[in-house]
Structure 1
């Protein structure tokens, strides 16, 4: 008979090794699965003993599947009356598409219909279907013009064991991933020695220890499973299955009598003392895959490194992570490496042998009196540069009474990060709004490294920068937040932002969300969120633009109506209101950001019906307003560089391509004496002045007047213009 065992992508080599160790004949690693041939007993043994397989499938036939009708005909030719228990419920699991069968649900439906029609014709029974609790699952694997049809033998996935039934990989380390980590480090081989020692580190420590103990005890991982898919399969051989169960029981009893004594240590919970370790047979398994953010990942990496330093030579290190950062930090080359997936993200399984003393972390003395441990000697240059810029920037910020500012902006090319510091509000007590206080805070934003830079080296540099930033900027370690910026691939201006609002905050309109704090700027107070998305809620490079809006509002005559387009969290609306705007209109596509803007306004004393908030696609809304009598004396326009949000009525927006049409539309919303402040952060932006002039739109470049002191190193951080209406130029 022919079978295949499916597994997570990247596990194929490990699973093939496991099946060979079980004596499985004719093993063939494939993509996402391992094929094998043999007797029914061989498939049963894989079901019972495999720790890495997800499912085991008995292949019944390969049929043509160029069209739905051909698939139906091929499935109908299978003698289902010889395969299925008459009273069983079935489900169909279909994977793969081709030019005709492009929907897996439809493929599953046609397969089910073919099976049901065959059973009705041959047996006079109508099979019941139950997708959620089926007795037996029929597998369809479609590839080009052929489909593999099989019976799933396990029932539920084999990794549903030991209380992990419904847990996802992001919530807890799945048992098959724990087993893969152990297999990569050779734990089963070590278990055959006299006194093996296992150290585990990371969020998946409990699952790793349970899986390792079961392997050491030679217990079949699925011995206690109560329900199997093959029980509703007519080819099931009960005598063969019970014989394998008896064999598994005997192996567990034999292992219990063996003299092997394994030692287990949870390093994360209890630490480790080198004197507790033997001279050899030591395996350290590190689960570095699910850190909530870079700061937590960096702390895990530092702990892993210090643990490795305590291991005796000859020990083995096995790591599950998103990259090979730990290996790079230790200057080790992997003895085995598997590229895998952690949910939708890429990851690495790697094993290392400690044959010689590892590279030690370097102590770095800082001028503030602290000493930090860094991985790279070049990080000293970063530290000295940060100390210098911090000294100068702090003096400037105190003189100008600025509490939120940039300290470092990729001053050194190898350390391409931006670092900003935020002082807690002096104007408001955030505990009044449920805030936790604290501060100051720092945000360290990494610019995406060029493709030719080793990701692990970039990670190590960022980790060193994080270790240095906290003491230099006089910020608690837990109050430094890391943002990793990726190279843009399109999407909405909100693609990398999120708003964290808990249920308690929703009950109280002005309550601060989890991770949110109050920070002052220009005599106003703003809510910032350091634990949310990519941006905290206030763009510091436009600080002087906001101040200019306040001054322009003061000198505006007439109705003093202000319009804020692509408003984000409404900081410009606050400045306009503070400058005397009688009416403000704040427009954005995002409802959460409009609510954030309203909280900012109300905390600063600008509430009431004269301040309105409009959730709309700004481009469409502006075009619609041209046909109304609504006009504004001052407009702030800060559009995204690019957006293809599904909520936009247009297919996409590109500021260079579309700015002429946008500025013409916006200019028509101005009163005759009105003006618009247009800000754009596309570095290479070039306005098409001739086209604008023909449409009666005048542009005055004020960029140089709007770059703050802390952004002077990067004068292309944004472009800023005053837009006014004028007489159209002659064509």
Structure 2
């Protein structure tokens, strides 16, 4: 097989096919054809070995053995037995089968792989009386079967494990970039042929260091598979060890020369200590300890690292944002990156990999070119930038006076007309609230609630933080346009409100069913103490859709504080017991707070402790209806704010506010002292209080009296009634 020309198929990530074809040609392949996620070519075995050693883009190198139609399962078995498997492995050797695709005949990949394996084993056993065994890790041969429609190709996998596994990256960051994709990015940016032109390459968000490591290996002419210990051809009968040794020797010689080269400065910046440690370990395993630097610094220190270099190469793969609400953090990150480039990197070339091109438009730089890639299953873009006046986006009118501009202000000086309009509305709202806020001792309030229908957000301030809830746009609104408006709003919030960009939390609010509104979104456990009149209350802005404090109920809490002195107070569906805390601070003789959730009972305990309240305030984890049926205590003041719907696993039956409120209120009123008052509230827009309740009790709708100025635009935020026993 030494001088035989063979047909091969090399797989790669989608949209790398053109680059891979060029690479294969440079390595000696010919008759090259691009297909989806791969390239076919012809080559001699030494050149096939060179592809295995030198391809920076290939995932697998496959040697097709047979192909044909599979109209029923037996056809696959028969086709596989056309291959003389005794020419490829020992009858007592080991095999592994990778099967992909399906058809009417083969519906499951596991069945397909089993059929291929059985055909090989049965053939060798029939010919030799012996059979190979299955070994998933480093088998003697790895067989690849690819089925599309009714056609199947059976091939040997000469690479073994995917070639993106270079052996140095045993630890990855939060958003890992495959080595093959990192190499593709660097090829696209021209680094492999022009690295000598740059005094520095820097990745200011380097993660595990993949981009800088691949850049270093390119510049040093180090073969990506040089230290790879195992290939799929190692124990294959068709392997020609001498030819492989020659390919290895050539790679070693080239690398020895590359080690003597004067390289540009290769620098990565990383803020997360664990990720930085992983990057340093990867660099050491890659043999680059003295060639690449990783610094524990962030993007804002870029000027300190690059100094006054008039030319350089910046490439980075910023976080994509996998959690709900990451758009806020990412927007400010992109804006800051754009500001750093414009201010400190004029004359530089830059490349940005992004899964969200809309965010990249907020950098104030116009991309010179863009290329499509896939990072795993995620479609992304590579944007190339020439940082020069020609590619600067013309600055629009700033959203406010920039005389005291800081880095954040500079990052946002390229705002859209929509952002300016939104900023003006925010200023108007804040100006209107200012006299009222001077009279209140509160640092948590609403500053915007979908005032402009196309900017459908609710924005609340909690001390020095902003909590932004994006209402889901209707299906008629273009999602891209909706995201542009969201980014418009986020871009101006820090300047208009004075809140730092890293203290803006974004969530998407959709119609909730059951306990969805209480489900965990994150797991930070971060609690923030805020002030409301006499009370200090804990909120969590990140982990749940709601924060632990319903701001629209502030007037109701104020009312209960005023009425609570000397009274026995019951708070049903107490949530985090903010109402109970106000009652206790108002001088209540005792409070009882009931909620089914242990999480919120624990949270309520912290609220009481924060305010130094004593043991006469009881917290009970129980289903409120069940507790009312079993309890016999009387109370002077009762507050009830139940969910619209609940189907907790802790109860045998669900709760529906419209269906069950009559029973709930009759039970609660049986616990109310003859001279007592019950306040009942809910936020179900279509709710109708049962007529029978008006006949049994004195009922007054006080909704209009329970709306503060910050919720004046949304008079239907909740409904509230006062109930008393008839005299």
- Shorter-chain TM range is 0.7 to 0.9
Q: Give the deviation of 1:535 after TM superposition.
A: 4.0
> Structure 2 unaligned runs (5+)?
1-5, 270-298, 673-677
Residue in structure 2 matching 1:51, options 39, 53, 56? 56
Once the two structures are superposed, residues 180-231 of structure 1 have per-residue CA deviations (whole angstroms, 9 ceiling, x without a partner) of 321231222324x655753433234843222112112222111121121221
Q: 1:596 to 1:55 in 2, by over 3 A?
A: farther
Once the two structures are superposed, residues 509-555 of structure 1 have per-residue CA deviations (whole angstroms, 9 ceiling, x without a partner) of xxxx4x32222335333322345455433232333345567778889
Matched with 1:600 is: 607
Residue in structure 2 matching 1:330, options 340, 348, 364? 364
Matched with 2:184 is: 180
In structure 1, how many angstroms separate the alpha carbons of the residues matched to 2:165 and 2:342? 32
Residue in structure 1 matching 2:596, options 575, 584, 587? 587
> Structure 1 unaligned runs (5+)?
424-439, 502-512, 727-731
Q: Give the deviation of 1:600 after TM superposition.
A: 3.4
Matched with 1:284 is: 314
Q: 1:523 to 1:636 in 2, by over 3 A?
A: same
Q: 1:545 to 1:186 in 2, by over 3 A?
A: farther
Matched with 2:414 is: 375
Once the two structures are superposed, residues 478-530 of structure 1 have per-residue CA deviations (whole angstroms, 9 ceiling, x without a partner) of 4x2231427669896158733536xxxxxxxxxxx4x3222233533332234
Once the two structures are superposed, residues 31-50 of structure 1 have per-residue CA deviations (whole angstroms, 9 ceiling, x without a partner) of 44444454544543332222
Q: Does 1:527 align with 2:527?
A: no
Q: Does 1:441 align with 2:465?
A: yes
Q: 1:285 to 1:360 in 2, by over 3 A?
A: farther
Residue in structure 2 matching 1:161, options 143, 160, 166? 166
Secondary structure of the structure 1 residue equivalent to 2:381: strand
Secondary structure of the structure 1 residue equivalent to 2:234: helix
Q: TM-score, normalised by structure 1?
A: 0.74
Q: 1:256 to 1:457 in 2, by over 3 A?
A: same
Secondary structure of the structure 2 residue equivalent to 1:288: coil
Residue in structure 2 matching 1:241, options 244, 251, 260? 244
Q: Give the deviation of 1:580 after TM superposition.
A: 5.9
In structure 1, how many angstroms separate the alpha carbons of the residues matched to 2:594 and 2:404? 50
Secondary structure of the structure 1 residue equivalent to 2:204: strand
Once the two structures are superposed, residues 435-468 of structure 1 have per-residue CA deviations (whole angstroms, 9 ceiling, x without a partner) of xxxxx33334455674264477446524522441
Q: 1:404 touches 1:520 (CA, 8 Å); kept in 2? A: yes
In structure 2, how many angstroms separate the alpha carbons of the residues matched to 1:403 and 1:476? 16
Matches within 5 A, 1:578-657: 583-588=592-597, 592-601=599-608, 603-604=610-611, 605=613, 610-614=618-622, 625=626, 629=630, 636-639=640-643
Q: Does 1:405 align with 2:458?
A: no
Once the two structures are superposed, residues 244-263 of structure 1 have per-residue CA deviations (whole angstroms, 9 ceiling, x without a partner) of 323334544565678x8645
Matched with 2:709 is: 709
Once the two structures are superposed, residues 348-387 of structure 1 have per-residue CA deviations (whole angstroms, 9 ceiling, x without a partner) of 2222445725136568485796322221264455445444
In structure 1, how many angstroms separate the alpha carbons of the residues matched to 2:715 and 2:567? 29
Matched with 1:138 is: 143
Q: Give the deviation of 1:18 after TM superposition.
A: 3.8
In structure 2, how many angstroms separate the alpha carbons of the residues matched to 1:42 and 1:645? 64
Secondary structure of the structure 1 residue equivalent to 2:210: helix
Q: 2:529 touches 2:536 (CA, 8 Å); kept in 1? A: yes
Aligned Cα RMSD in Å? 4.8
Q: Give the deviation of 1:320 after TM superposition.
A: 0.7
Q: Does 1:201 align with 2:224?
A: no
Question: Which entry has the higher C-alpha Rg, 1 or 2?
Answer: 2
Aligned length, in residue pairs: 663
Residue in structure 2 matching 1:396, options 436, 460, 465? 436
Matches within 5 A, 1:263-278: 264=266, 268=299, 270-271=302-303, 275-278=308-311
In structure 1, how many angstroms separate the alpha carbons of the residues matched to 2:104 and 2:575? 43
Q: TM-score, normalised by structure 2?
A: 0.74
Once the two structures are superposed, residues 363-420 of structure 1 have per-residue CA deviations (whole angstroms, 9 ceiling, x without a partner) of 8485796322221264455445444433443442341211211223444567655433
Matched with 2:718 is: 719
Q: 1:306 to 1:82 in 2, by over 3 A?
A: same
Secondary structure of the structure 2 residue equivalent to 1:229: coil
In structure 2, how many angstroms separate the alpha carbons of the residues matched to 1:635 and 1:285? 58
Once the two structures are superposed, residues 2-35 of structure 1 have per-residue CA deviations (whole angstroms, 9 ceiling, x without a partner) of 5443334454454445444445344444444444
Q: Give the deviation of 1:319 after TM superposition.
A: 0.9
Q: Give the deviation of 1:338 after TM superposition.
A: 0.6
Once the two structures are superposed, residues 61-112 of structure 1 have per-residue CA deviations (whole angstroms, 9 ceiling, x without a partner) of 4466677666556556654443334555444444445678665555545554
In structure 2, how many angstroms separate the alpha carbons of the residues matched to 1:11 and 1:607? 67
Matched with 1:729 is: none
Secondary structure of the structure 1 residue equivalent to 2:233: helix
Matches within 5 A, 1:441-520: 441-447=465-471, 450-451=477-478, 453-454=480-481, 457-458=484-485, 461-462=488-489, 464-469=491-496, 472-473=497-498, 475-476=499-500, 478=502, 480-485=503-508, 493-494=516-517, 497-498=520-521, 500=523, 513=525, 515-520=526-531
